[in-house]
Amino acid sequence: MKSLFNKKRLDNLPEFWRNYIAKFSEPEAIDYKNTRFVVLDTETTGFNTYRDRILCIGALSIVNNSIEVESSLEIYLEQQHFDASTVAIHGILKNEKIEHVSEQKGLEMFLSFLNNAVIIAHHAQFDISMINRALDRNGLPELKNRIIDTALLYKKTLLSTPLLPKKEVYSLDEIANKFDISTKDRHTALGDAYITAIAFLKIMNRLQDKGPVSLKSLYN
């Protein structure tokens, strides 16, 4: 009876969501080198996942240890809610002459790009929460993808000693500085996604120097 109810509920969801869910019936990759990753970043009106809204979604693919620059996505969403105090951070004006799409259309575009890829994000909980809140507002379930947080993954590369204890949180700027990654496009969704992608590949190189790395060990 429960499966019949779930089927009816799925049939009532939009086609783009059903197409997204269908991808998860495919076999899951075991080797991270054969896995498609999608690096995600969101620029938002603030940091309250309930009150604030997504201004822009940036995403790009990593396949076989290479960033696919030609396979990227940058979506600006129409703004019903706006906080001028955060413009100094993300630089996105409410009436800026950039093509904007509705929140639902933006989600459709993002899910069509994402499919069943493993999501990579820095401080991933925030970005995932913002996406999930947007999905909920549009009557859709939460994301099903596995997640890797580069803020947590980076800590696995560090030695912990009484003289040099690990910090609780490492910012994207700190990691970019550590790996000498340019931050000229910092605080744009696609720019931050690109910085995160480079950081992920450099972190993976360090982890591999320590020994074989399984895909499962990377997940949050």
Candidate ranges 82-86, 90-94, 135-139; pick with highest mean pLDDT: 135-139
Residue 1's pLDDT is: 43
Query: 36-54: per-residue pLDDT in tens?
Result: 999 999 999 999 999 999 9
Residue 201, φ and ψ in degrees, nearest 5:
-65, -40
Residue 12's pLDDT is: 86
Query: 96-112: per-residue pLDDT in tens?
Result: 557 899 999 999 999 99
- Tell me how far apart the alpha carbons of residues 174 and 51 are, in angstroms, rounded to a whole number: 28
Query: 161-180: per-residue pLDDT in tens?
Result: 777 788 888 999 999 999 99
* Half-sphere exposure in the Cβ direction for 55 (13 Å, CA): 24
Amino acid at 52: D
- Tell me how far apart the alpha carbons of residues 47 and 27 are, in angstroms, rounded to a whole number: 36
The angle subtended at Cα 130 by Cα 29 and Cα 156, nearest 5°, is: 50
Residue 91's pLDDT is: 47
* Half-sphere exposure in the Cβ direction for 130 (13 Å, CA): 22
Amino acid at 220: N
pLDDT band at residue 8, thresholds of 50, 70 and 90? very low
Q: How many CB atoms lie within 10 A of CB 49?
A: 18
Please report which helix (H) or strand (E) contains residue 43, including its range.
Answer: strand 36-44
Which pTM was predicted?
A: 0.88
- Tell me how far apart the alpha carbons of residues 139 and 136 are, in angstroms, rounded to a whole number: 5
Contact yes or no for 43/121 (Cβ under 8 A) = no
Mean pLDDT for all residues in the chain:
88
Residues in the chain: 220
Domain covering 2-218: architecture:
2-Layer Sandwich (3.30)
Domain boundaries, the chain: 2-218
Paired tokens of 131:
């996406």
pLDDT at 95 over 70: no
